[in-house]
Structure 1
Amino acid sequence: MPTEKNPEVLSLVVPVHNEEDTIDLFYQAMQDVKNQVNAEIDFHFIDDGSTDSTLSILRKLRDKDSHVHYVSFSRNFGKEAGLYAGLEQATGDYVAVMDVDLQDPPELLPKMLKEVQSGEYDAVGTRRVDRKGEAKVRSWFSAQFYKWMNKISQTHLVDGARDYRVMTRQMVNAILSMSENQRFSKGIFTWVGFRTKYIPFENRERVAGNTSWSFWSLTKYAIEGIVSFSTMPLTIVTYLGILSFGISIIGGVFIVIRALISNSSVAGWPSMVTIILFIGGIQMLSLGVIGRYLAAIFMETKRRPIYIAKETK
């Protein structure tokens, strides 16, 4: 008699940090769509050093459902470390990345998986078509980041793209092969290539709790993305140096010619101070940009682990 084929497995990677109010809601929402998914689902929650009762809730879920797995970090390592740990722990034929706050619509998951299972695509991601409920200033800066990032980097980022996506095992393995410490997953997802389709959806607010992403943390995250996938800031610094050098040569020639013609010394201490401050500012800016790249190299050469697991189930 022919042996019965084991069902394919979809692993859900869900990073969490102080999400005691959302985990049960997320788990229940996933039960509602579980039967619509043409695969067996297992959960891989990554507790990123939470200080509330997040870990206790995950333990209870694990006791109730053997398909629930979790990794608890020894401290907060950041969402990027959580994503990497989740992809590393996931064992399914397909892997999905989702946020626990239900801003990623669970009802899209069956369609996303079906598209990948068809073999036409290696990944199906999602993107927001609007930013309703988000502060206008934050939305504007986010749009500008995508706009300029695509201009200064060879890695194209889809505006409004979320981490929410379903990927084949082959694509996940390719992402895991990039074990760099300074991680920017949106860029990595694009850099590894593979055929990817994006499904648009309208923005949703968190179902409960508060986001841990402040404007400053998003700004630092954007800088990490630029440093990871573009050397354009270094090129701009080089051009500024050439420009300031050229201006100084022209200024020097002008001063000499003026002195020869008028036979007088050049006055204007305020303008001289302004010029010195301008050149000094360019130098400090240049050192800051170069220093940021050196800091990234410094952190990579340490070869520290991306995360440290304290508890795994």
Structure 2
Amino acid sequence: MAKRLDILVPFLNERESVAGFSALAGDLAVQVKERFGLETHFVFIDDGSTDDGGALYGEHMTGDWSLITLARNFGKETAILAGLDHSEGDYVLLMDADLQHTVDVALDMIGRIMADSELDMVYAVRSDRAETRSLGRYFANGFYWLINMGQRYEIPANAGDFRVMTSRFAAALRQLRDQRRFNKGLYAWTGFKQERILYKPAERQGGESKWSRRRLIAFSLEGFTSFSVVPLRMVSLFGTGVAILGFLYGIKILLEVLFTGVSVPGYPSLIVAVLVLGGLNLALTGLVGEYVWSALSEAKNRPNYIVKSITGSHTATAVQTAKASRKATHG
């Protein structure tokens, strides 16, 4: 029996790219069959879209595919988990629906993982981001530097969800049921042998990115609260430093009063101390609140997602088979 490649495609309001991706999917399926002898099954995960993108896939897609429609927008990280839960392939490929992930890079990753029996994941790293010199790029580099500090594993910078994995790696990911998911961290935490390749994404064919700056900041906070205690330790060290400086300053004032008779400065020094310590306390309280909220989300143990419906290329066949069976049973 031929081995199978499941291709997971999470999407949100991507109706403009449906026709283009359906054509890409057909080309990819043909080349995967010819080069590697793998059957392909596409798993589309509609993450609460408000347009008709999901219905359009039913009109444009050919071959073996299924569409999982979630009850609302749970986020891309969770949509990928839903796809993993409904995949049964020997290999699993993650792709975006916006056509920025190309067939050539996908084939390269598949070839690498099939050529090495010890390899469990190949992931693509954007080379264009590494070349960019901007304020946002420096913040991103700082984020990865902080989150990797003191870890026994490294979360690679500029790596997204464009990757292929073995069924063994996919099974390991299914066990990780984090409510507030940070997949980049989960991929690294899982372990196994992984390899990276560099790629430059194609231009987006339609629509616009769903990742606003506000969502990126929130996503970064989830990464910190899920995988790093460094922010808490940094604030604690800063607080300790401020306390030591305050203690030394108090000794200085005391000595000046005792030996030189200099009057103690009142209002300015008091306001500075109140503002510094008050701001530090508020920052620490907010940071602790983020960690508490993260822990509370995990403790509730709600399901990661709710499936509204599952349709696909076999839906019509299954309905016809069920009708024929009932007709034969009841005469």
**How does the TM-score come out when normalised to structure 2?**
0.86
Q: What secondary structure is seen at the aligned counterpart in 2 of 1:130? A: helix
CA distance in 1, matches of 2:194, 2:251: 57
Richer in helix (by share): 2
Return the match for 1:9 from 4, 22, 28.
4
- Residue 80 of structure 1 is matched in structure 2 by 77
* Distance change >3 Å, CA 203–CA 140, structure 1 → 2: farther
Q: CA deviation at 1:221?
A: 0.8
1:202-217 map, 5 Å = 202-217=200-215
CA distance in 2, matches of 1:115, 1:132: 23
Q: What secondary structure is seen at the aligned counterpart in 2 of 1:22? A: helix
Cα-to-partner distance string for 1:174-233 (whole Å, 9 max, x where unaligned): 111111101111111111111111111123221211111111111111111121111111
- Residue 162 of structure 2 is matched in structure 1 by 164
Instruction: Give 1:96's aligned amino acid.
Output: L
Give me the identity figure in percent. 32
Return the match for 1:146 from 144, 147, 153.
144
1:207-246 map, 5 Å = 207-246=205-244
Instruction: Give 2:154's aligned amino acid.
Output: H
Give the superposed CA RMSD: 2.1
* Distance change >3 Å, CA 41–CA 279, structure 1 → 2: same
Instruction: Give 1:115's aligned amino acid.
Output: R
Q: CA deviation at 1:288?
A: 1.2
CA distance in 1, matches of 2:182, 2:132: 22
- State the number of aligned residues: 306
Q: What secondary structure is seen at the aligned counterpart in 2 of 1:151? A: coil
Q: Please tell me whether the aligned partners of residues 131 and 203 of structure 1 are also in contact (alpha carbons under 8 angstroms).
A: no
- Residue 250 of structure 2 is matched in structure 1 by 252
Q: What secondary structure is seen at the aligned counterpart in 1 of 2:209? A: coil
1:28-107 map, 5 Å = 28-37=23-32, 38=36, 39-61=38-60, 65=62, 67-107=64-104
CA distance in 2, matches of 1:286, 1:72: 40
**How does the TM-score come out when normalised to structure 1?**
0.91
Runs ≥4 residues deviating over 6 A: 132-135
1:156-195 map, 5 Å = 156-195=154-193
- Residue 114 of structure 1 is matched in structure 2 by 111
CA distance in 2, matches of 1:162, 1:228: 18
CA distance in 2, matches of 1:210, 1:133: 22
Q: Please tell me whether the aligned partners of residues 102 and 201 of structure 2 are also in contact (alpha carbons under 8 angstroms).
A: no
- Residue 3 of structure 1 is matched in structure 2 by none
List runs of 5+ in structure 2 lacking aligned partners.
312-331
Q: Please tell me whether the aligned partners of residues 127 and 199 of structure 2 are also in contact (alpha carbons under 8 angstroms).
A: yes
CA distance in 2, matches of 1:105, 1:35: 14
CA distance in 2, matches of 1:31, 1:151: 43
